[in-house]
Structure 1
Amino acid sequence: MSEHFDHLETRSQAEREAYLMKALARQVEHARRHTTAYADILKDVDPAAINTREALAQLPVTRKHELIALQRQGRELHGGPFGGFCSIGYGPGMSRVFASPGPIYEPEGEGRGSWRVARAMHAAGFRRGDLIHNAFSYHLTPAGAIMESSAISLGCTVLPAGTGQTELQVQTMADLGPQAYVGTPSFLKIVLERAADMGVPLSSLKRALFSGEACSQSLRGWFQEQGISAFQAYATADLGLIAYETQALEGMVLDENLVLEIVRPGTGEPVAVGEIGEVVVTTFNPTYPLIRFATGDLSAFLPGQCPTGRTNLRIEGWLGRADQTTKVRGMFVHPTQVASISERFSEIRRAKLVVSGEMGTDHMLFQVEVSRPSEELEQRIQEAIREVTKLRAEVALLVPGALPEDGKTIEDLRRHR
């Protein structure tokens, strides 16, 4: 049986890029025409012109942490639970609707494969005829349904186990003999340890696909000692599958049906390959056509291709959170404010705010890379900081390349108290 899910995974980069850019222009047109939110956001945009990554980078970013307010405002203005971001209403075309913490509401389109996680399952070794023990929650949130629909589209059978009731899950796994597990790595470890305490062998379980939390290398090694090959999928309730691990375990390969950008936190500006930034995704889901949707997660592009022969771009995986908002002297400071200050000065190439000090003595240092430092520029930047944040800060003018490429727009060095 082929190692690859379909021919899309091994097409040339040029072929893939041509397809993605054509699909991108169509999706921008679809979103603008069929959703009230994007009719407003993209009102001055010519969809046909959004057919390159450079053109895409000029569109506004919608951030996940903003979606709660946007949906609330949208319900008041447009009606419906999705704030005008969904292209259809309840009924045919929308099979289910979910509620994630926030609350944020997500629609599911028609078709068992709409979340696209079957590709990640295949890469993890799941095959037609396998029994999948699904330990994601089926209550309100979509994780359980995402995995179930994807497994069924792959030709697998699913046990909808959900969470909790560990001893019952152990007994059920022993009786039914699942070949694979989907869920969080921490819960599988609990199940396996409970099975050992009960003296119940779970020898049928050979493969696991994790999502929802990171699996450390040490924990992956522990699963390997139990005879289980463990892989990770990067998926969200809003976007479905974003990227997935392969047998090579060298980063995560992007899904074939999206455009992913890595941007400097607080901005929409793409960063160079290898530089850490915020993950921004545009999907081709017609029901929920999110354009430049910022996940709040940090990652970085990896150079080269996957050793398994998959030719799509790769990312490092989850490297932290981009929303580095912090409170200084009783005032919240956001990454978008750092970006706003930088955008006022053509001389600034990159910027980073470092917060230090102890209780009652918070200190802000605004570090900027500039080619031509001057006292006059330093003073103007200080004035902009006071205007934007209502706080005072020292300014350090650094040479280009001095700031680390760690994805941090705000770095808080204070001890938690």
Structure 2
Amino acid sequence: MSSFFDSLETRAPEVREAQLMQALAQQVAHAKRNTTAYASLFKDVEPSEVCTREALAQLPLTRKHDLVALQRKGRETHADTFGGYSAARFGPAMTRVFASPGPLYEPEGHSKDYWRVARAMHAAGFKPGDLIHNTFSYHFTPAGAIMESSALALGCTVMPAGTGQTELQIRTIADLGPTAYAGTPSFLKIILERANDMGVQVRTLTRALFSGEACPESLRQWFKNRGVATYQVYATADLGLLAYETEALEGMVVDENLILEIVRPGTGEPMPCGEVGEVVVTSFNPTYPLIRFATGDLSALMPGQCPTGRTNQRIEGWLGRADQTTKVRGMFVHPSQVTAVSERFSEIRRARLVVSGEMASDHLVFQAEVEQFSEGLRQRIQDAVREVTKLRAEITFMLVGELPDDGRVIDDLRSYR
């Protein structure tokens, strides 16, 4: 197997930059011509002049929460399901539609490796002929489809295991002998621990590609001690692959088919290398041509190149959120969801969700200020948190006035560096 997925990974940096800038001008023209959103946003923009990073930095940001509102407005007026940002419509050019929390709907275009994660799989040592045990969800969200389509493009076979049913997962792994796993690190840890308790051998699994959660070094070592080499991939439903780990395990290499910026949170101002800021991405996807899409994620550019010989930029990986939204056990939790739980109970004056522990071993506490409480109220709030966020949380009652009056609805105490 070649060390590289294709020749793009070893381009001279100046060649890559020139090709990206040429493609940028073409993508701005495409988006302006084929989407109503960019026709409006770029009405005073001459696409051919957007051919440098400096010119790109002058374009407005599109934020995910803005896109949620625009899609909602489009549905209400029957104007556009995707808020004016999709260049394709239902039919042959759009194979499927997925839903993310918000709700936010994402189109899937008609291409072999639409989300481009095959590059990350190759870097993780996945190869043609491998059987991949895919435990990402196949319902509503695109995670399962992202991994499956990319594995198929790479020449692998996929077991679409999906989420849950741990003992059935173990039996299937033991019967089929997959060589690689795709899913969250926390679920693979559960699978390996339960298999050990059951006395079932699952030693064919030697590689894993993780997303949805960070994998701290202590957990990576835990997997290594059990014969599983682990790699992380940074991908989203709207943008596909953003960056990926290589065997060097020194940061994450940026994908070849996008432009990634790190900007000062709340602005579009690019940040110097090494400083933490918000990840902003310009995609070259013709179906969903998101330009300067502000992800809300935090990261930082790294100096130098990957020791493997890949010459693209590197980032440190996911370092948290620029807003109070956070990711817990592979699920985004939004401040609006905490508010939605609180509004169900007249007893709650204020509330805060506290996230602690290590990534992939998260502990959630829903803190509620109440004048009076009961165990019945505790259970009802716990049920509501589970219904709204799809996550289990411990409920802690506090006296009115005990929560800090600092505007924080989600308090993420985990360390990301």
- For the Cα contact (< 8 Å) 2:134–2:144, is it kept in 1? yes
Letter in 1 for 2:130: D
Relative to 1, partners in 2 of residues 1:97 and 1:201: Cα closer, same or farther, differing over 3 Å? same
**What is the CA deviation profile of residues 362-405 of structure 1, one whole-angstrom value per residue up to 9, with x for unaligned ones?**
579xxxxxxxxxxxxxxxxxxxxxxxxxxxxxxxxxxxxxxxxx
Matches within 5 A, 1:94-243: 94-243=94-243
- For the Cα contact (< 8 Å) 2:298–2:321, is it kept in 1? yes
Relative to 1, partners in 2 of residues 1:139 and 1:103: Cα closer, same or farther, differing over 3 Å? same
Aligned to 1:250: 250
Letter in 2 for 1:168: L
Aligned to 1:5: 5
Q: How far did residue 238 of structure 1 move?
A: 0.3
Cα separation, 2, equivalents of 1:412 and 1:82? 28
Cα separation, 2, equivalents of 1:79 and 1:191? 46
Q: How far did residue 203 of structure 1 move?
A: 1.0
- For the Cα contact (< 8 Å) 2:132–2:158, is it kept in 1? yes
Q: How far did residue 241 of structure 1 move?
A: 0.3
Relative to 1, partners in 2 of residues 1:363 and 1:153: Cα closer, same or farther, differing over 3 Å? closer
Matches within 5 A, 1:270-349: 270-324=270-324
Aligned to 2:18: 18
Secondary structure at 2:16 match in 1:
helix
Cα separation, 1, equivalents of 2:251 and 2:412? 32
Cα separation, 2, equivalents of 1:161 and 1:242? 25
**What is the CA deviation profile of residues 223-275 of structure 1, one whole-angstrom value per residue up to 9, with x for unaligned ones?**
00110000000000000000000000000000000000000001111110001
- For the Cα contact (< 8 Å) 1:263–1:269, is it kept in 2? yes
Aligned to 2:73: 73
Aligned to 2:379: none
Cα separation, 2, equivalents of 1:363 and 1:294? 25
Cα separation, 2, equivalents of 1:23 and 1:208? 33
Range 41-50 or range 308-317, more displaced: 41-50
Letter in 1 for 2:29: E
- For the Cα contact (< 8 Å) 1:78–1:84, is it kept in 2? no
Structure 1 residues without counterparts, runs of 5 or longer:
331-357, 365-409
Secondary structure at 2:51 match in 1:
coil
Cα separation, 2, equivalents of 1:166 and 1:19? 46
Q: How many pairs are equivalent?
A: 342
Relative to 1, partners in 2 of residues 1:78 and 1:305: Cα closer, same or farther, differing over 3 Å? farther
RMSD: 2.3
Letter in 2 for 1:153: A
Q: How far did residue 304 of structure 1 move?
A: 0.3
Cα separation, 2, equivalents of 1:42 and 1:230? 42
- For the Cα contact (< 8 Å) 1:207–1:229, is it kept in 2? yes
Letter in 2 for 1:79: A
Query: After TM superposition, which residue ranges in structure 1, 4 or more long, deviate above 4 angstroms?
Result: 324-327, 358-364, 410-415
Cα separation, 2, equivalents of 1:86 and 1:361? 42
Cα separation, 1, equivalents of 2:221 and 2:412? 34
Secondary structure at 1:218 match in 2:
helix
Letter in 2 for 1:214: A
Cα separation, 2, equivalents of 1:315 and 1:414? 22
- For the Cα contact (< 8 Å) 2:324–2:411, is it kept in 1? no
Q: How far did residue 75 of structure 1 move?
A: 3.1
Secondary structure at 1:67 match in 2:
helix
Cα separation, 2, equivalents of 1:360 and 1:193? 38
Q: How far did residue 72 of structure 1 move?
A: 1.1
Relative to 1, partners in 2 of residues 1:240 and 1:22: Cα closer, same or farther, differing over 3 Å? same
Relative to 1, partners in 2 of residues 1:414 and 1:197: Cα closer, same or farther, differing over 3 Å? closer
Letter in 2 for 1:228: V
Percent identity between matched residues is: 71
Cα separation, 1, equivalents of 2:290 and 2:278? 16
Cα separation, 2, equivalents of 1:414 and 1:168? 34
Is the counterpart of residue 45 in structure 1 residue 37 in structure 2?
Answer: no
Relative to 1, partners in 2 of residues 1:363 and 1:324: Cα closer, same or farther, differing over 3 Å? closer
Letter in 2 for 1:252: M
Cα separation, 2, equivalents of 1:361 and 1:105? 35
Letter in 2 for 1:188: L
Cα separation, 2, equivalents of 1:188 and 1:291? 35
Secondary structure at 1:88 match in 2:
coil
Q: How far did residue 65 of structure 1 move?
A: 2.1
**What is the CA deviation profile of residues 281-329 of structure 1, one whole-angstrom value per residue up to 9, with x for unaligned ones?**
00000000001001110000000000000000000001110014999xx
Cα separation, 2, equivalents of 1:119 and 1:304? 21
Cα separation, 2, equivalents of 1:169 and 1:40? 49
Cα separation, 2, equivalents of 1:66 and 1:414? 23
